[in-house]
């Protein structure tokens, strides 16, 4: 135990000093634990448990723990119970510097209030100089019952005192008495308040009035304060034509927007953008500079940096706007914002935000397809993938050429997505663009493309597909790709493809080398797609082929034909 160094040290130590001293030590550890750990952390919980335990012996000897606060020490009953010289660490200094001179704890403080006290001390220690709070304002907010503090109001010592008025010489009593009598005897003199005028029952609040006031208070605390203030500002802008006032208002609104975004109030930002249009329409005597400032405000918000900040704050926010609120905001954004939105979509970690933003992006893209085309010019793969996904969903014809332009310049993942998107669109234009994917370097792209082309009977691609079917390269492909190409060929060529397929399935002549069983099986399956007697005859023969793969394919093709 540290020896007391205070002037009272000559006196015998008060009974219970050790217990209070111990309590101070665990309190200091508690401040640290509360600052460093979360409530579910064992260290945090142990610290609190120690504090509660340490209060026990203290309450056994006193029912009020009153601590005198000095710059570097706390005294109890004149004896030092805590001494901390290092100001950055010191609890006594933290209390002292903001004016607290006495801290009193009552039984029950250890239940719950002590935790809040320690939290406040931790918070106060980290306050910056120009913070709107100090220790005293923070303590006040807590509304403690079992913890009391006395303080001095620093910096208010010079405040002039309220004084009584200068005493007037006493008036002669008889004169006063006469005045009173005259005044009272006046018939209905002015100033008389009849009791009838003030029937007390008039002033009782009845049930209805009490309900009304309750409702008013509820309304006060459920209102949209920022929206209210914004409406005031826009009213002012319309009503006040002084240019200096308008300049100030424009500046307030300009500075207000980043603040609203920072606190995640997207609805208010949308309100600003909406009201700007009204103000621009209705304001009288609007100076060109003010008009320009107001008109460019939404553009500022649509700039990549600003929008990036917005989306980042959305992603990190704990409370998210509804789709309507977000939609309201995005509806007000300029079309150029779409690229930024799409660039942010892949980065967002929060699924809900992602989904909300995707909805907003969809609406924006529908309204401004040219911006989606522009986004397809991007180099960034994730952005392109989001853009293509959106294009696939919206199926907007103006996007087709831009999608087609992606094949020669992008990686396989983007090309696959593009092929899928064009296939989903399925328009002649989209299929035309898809033709270039038939010979893509990526197997998946080729398969998707050729399947779509076949399914849509895009006959313009027959030449390219026939070349592949006839070519050597396909012989090295896997069965799925071979099947896709052969089926597409059959679908596009119809009866005209009979000969080529028949030759592949059953080559004639001794010298002709038989195709490998996979190619022959694919040819059989393709023949099954041709609705012709001859095709069925060829398949019938193939059902007794030596190769099991070919036999099976022929049988399946015939069955498929029957089912069809």
Nearer to other proteins, 12 or 191 (CB): 191
Site membership for other proteins, residue 2 (CB under 8 A)? no
Query: How many CA atoms within 13 Å lie on the side-chain side of 366?
Result: 10
Interface mask toward other proteins for 258-297; x: CB under 8 A: -x--------------------------------------
Residue 422 near residue 404, CB atoms below 8 Å: yes
Q: Tell me if 133 contacts other proteins by CB under 8 A.
A: yes
Q: Which residues, 6 or more positions from 71, have their beta carbon under 8 angstroms from its beta carbon?
A: 92, 93, 96
Taking CB under 8 A as the criterion, the residue among 42, 63, 161, 544 binding other proteins is 161
User: What does the alpha-carbon distance between residue 551 and residue 521 come to, in Å, rounded to a whole number?
Assistant: 8
Decide whether 189 or 412 has the Cβ nearer to other proteins. Answer: 189
Nearer to other proteins, 106 or 338 (CB): 106
How far apart CA 78 and CA 66 sit, in angstroms, is 10
CA distance 401 to 376: 10
Nearer to other proteins, 145 or 541 (CB): 145
Interacting residue with other proteins among 63, 164, 187, 441 (CB under 8 A): 164
* 238 interacts with other proteins by CB under 8 A: yes
- Among residues 2, 178, 241, 499, which is the contact residue for other proteins, using CB under 8 A? 178
Structure tokens belonging to residue 101:
């001179």
What values do phi and psi take at 152, rounded to 5? -110, 145
Closest to 542 (Cα-Cα) out of 561, 511, 517, 560: 517
Measure the CA–CA gap between 548 and 517, rounded to whole angstroms: 9
Shortest reach from residue 284's CB to other proteins, in Å? 12
Instruction: Report the alpha-carbon distance of residue 356 to residue 173 in Å, rounded.
Output: 84
Binds other proteins (CB under 8 A): choice among 173, 288, 408, 509? 173
Using N-to-C axis directions, what is the helix angle for 288-302 and 243-262, rounded to 10°?
Answer: 10
Residue 524 near residue 539 (C-beta atoms within 8 A): yes
Binds other proteins by CB under 8 A, chosen from 12, 42, 191, 288: 191
| Residue 235 binds other proteins, judged by CB under 8 A | yes
Q: Which of residues 54-83 bind other proteins (CB under 8 A)?
A: none
Binding residue (CB under 8 A) for other proteins from 140, 277, 296, 471: 140
Q: Which of 177, 243, 427, 499 binds other proteins (CB under 8 A)?
A: 177
Nearest to 77 by CA among 104, 96, 97, 98: 104
Does position 555 bind other proteins by CB under 8 A?
A: no
367 touches other proteins by CB under 8 A: no
For residues 338-347, one letter each, b for 16 or more C-beta atoms within 10 angstroms of the residue's C-beta and e for the rest, the string is bbbbbbbbee
38 part of the interface to other proteins, by CB under 8 A: no
- Chain centroid to Cα 51, Å, comes to 39
Q: Does 132 bind other proteins (CB under 8 A)?
A: yes
Site size for other proteins (CB under 8 A)? 80
The rounded distance, in Å, linking the Cα atoms of 143 and 120 is 12
By CB under 8 A, residue 187 contacts other proteins: no
- Of 26, 28, 120, 233, which lies in the binding site for other proteins, with binding defined by CB under 8 A? 233
Contact between 97 and other proteins by CB under 8 A: the answer reads: no
Nearer residue to other proteins within complex by CB, 15 or 235: 235
Give 110's DSSP letter.
Answer: I
Minimum gap (Å) between residue 391 Cβ and other proteins: 41
Shortest Cβ 154–other proteins spacing (Å): 10
- The residues in 307-346 that bind other proteins, with binding defined as CB under 8 A, are none
Out of 9, 49, 60, 209, point to the residue binding other proteins (CB under 8 A).
Answer: 209
Q: In what order do the strands lie in the sheet with 65-69?
A: 79-83, 73-76, 65-69, 100-105, 147-151
C-alpha–C-alpha distance, residues 38 and 138, integer Å: 21
| Nearest-approach distance from CB 474 to other proteins, in angstroms | 58
């Amino acid at each position: 135990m540290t020896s007391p160094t205070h002037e009272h040290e000559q006196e015998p130590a008060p009974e219970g000093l050790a217990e209070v001293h111990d309590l101070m030590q665990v309190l200091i550890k508690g401040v640290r634990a509360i600052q460093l750990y979360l409530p579910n952390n064992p260290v945090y919980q142990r610290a609190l448990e120690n504090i509660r335990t340490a209060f026990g012996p203290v309450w056994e000897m006193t029912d009020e723990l009153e601590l005198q606060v000095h710059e570097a020490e706390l005294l109890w009953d004149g004896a030092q119970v805590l001494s901390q010289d290092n100001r950055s660490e010191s609890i006594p200094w933290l209390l002292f510097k903001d004016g607290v001179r006495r801290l009193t704890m009552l039984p029950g403080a250890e239940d719950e209030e002590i935790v809040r006290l320690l939290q406040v001390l931790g918070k106060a220690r980290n306050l910056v100089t120009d913070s709107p709070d100090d220790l005293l304002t923070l303590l006040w907010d807590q509304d403690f019952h079992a913890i009391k503090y006395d303080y001095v109001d620093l910096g208010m010592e010079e405040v002039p005192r309220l004084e009584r008025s200068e005493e007037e010489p006493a008036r002669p009593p008889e004169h006063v008495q006469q005045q009173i009598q005259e005044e009272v005897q006046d018939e209905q003199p002015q100033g008389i308040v009849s009791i009838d005028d003030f029937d007390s029952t008039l002033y009782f609040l009845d049930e209805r009035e009490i309900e009304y006031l309750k409702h008013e208070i509820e309304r006060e605390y459920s209102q949209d304060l920022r929206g209210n203030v914004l409406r005031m500002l826009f009213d002012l802008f319309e009503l006040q034509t002084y240019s200096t006032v308008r300049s100030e208002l424009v500046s307030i609104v300009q500075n207000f927007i980043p603040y609203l975004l920072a606190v995640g109030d997207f609805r208010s930002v949308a309100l600003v953008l909406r009201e700007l249009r009204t103000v621009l329409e209705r304001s009288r005597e609007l100076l060109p500079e003010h008009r320009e400032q107001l008109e460019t405000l939404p553009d500022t918000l649509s700039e990549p940096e600003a929008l990036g900040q917005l989306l980042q704050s959305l992603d990190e926010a704990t409370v998210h706007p509804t789709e309507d609120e977000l939609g309201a905001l995005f509806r007000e954004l300029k079309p150029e914002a779409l690229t930024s939105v799409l660039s942010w979509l892949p980065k967002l970690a929060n699924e809900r935000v992602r989904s909300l933003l995707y909805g907003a992006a969809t609406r924006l893209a529908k309204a401004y397809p040219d911006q989606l085309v522009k986004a397809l010019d991007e180099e960034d793969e994730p952005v392109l993938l989001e853009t293509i996904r959106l294009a696939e969903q919206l199926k907007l014809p103006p996007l087709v050429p831009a999608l087609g332009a992606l094949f020669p310049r992008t990686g396989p993942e983007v090309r696959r997505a593009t092929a899928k998107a064009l296939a989903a669109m399925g328009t002649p234009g989209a299929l035309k663009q898809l033709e270039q994917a038939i010979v893509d370097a990526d197997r998946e792209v080729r398969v998707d493309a050729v399947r779509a082309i076949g399914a849509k009977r895009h006959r313009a691609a027959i030449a390219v597909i026939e070349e592949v079917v006839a070519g050597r390269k396909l012989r090295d492909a896997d069965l799925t790709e071979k099947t896709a190409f052969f089926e597409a060929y059959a679908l596009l060529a119809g009866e005209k493809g009979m000969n080529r397929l028949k030759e592949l399935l059953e080559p004639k002549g001794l010298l002709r080398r038989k195709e490998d069983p996979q190619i022959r099986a694919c040819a059989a399956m393709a023949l099954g797609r041709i609705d012709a007697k001859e095709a069925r005859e060829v398949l019938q023969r193939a059902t007794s082929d030596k190769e099991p793969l070919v036999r099976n394919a022929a049988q399946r093709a015939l069955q498929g034909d029957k089912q069809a």
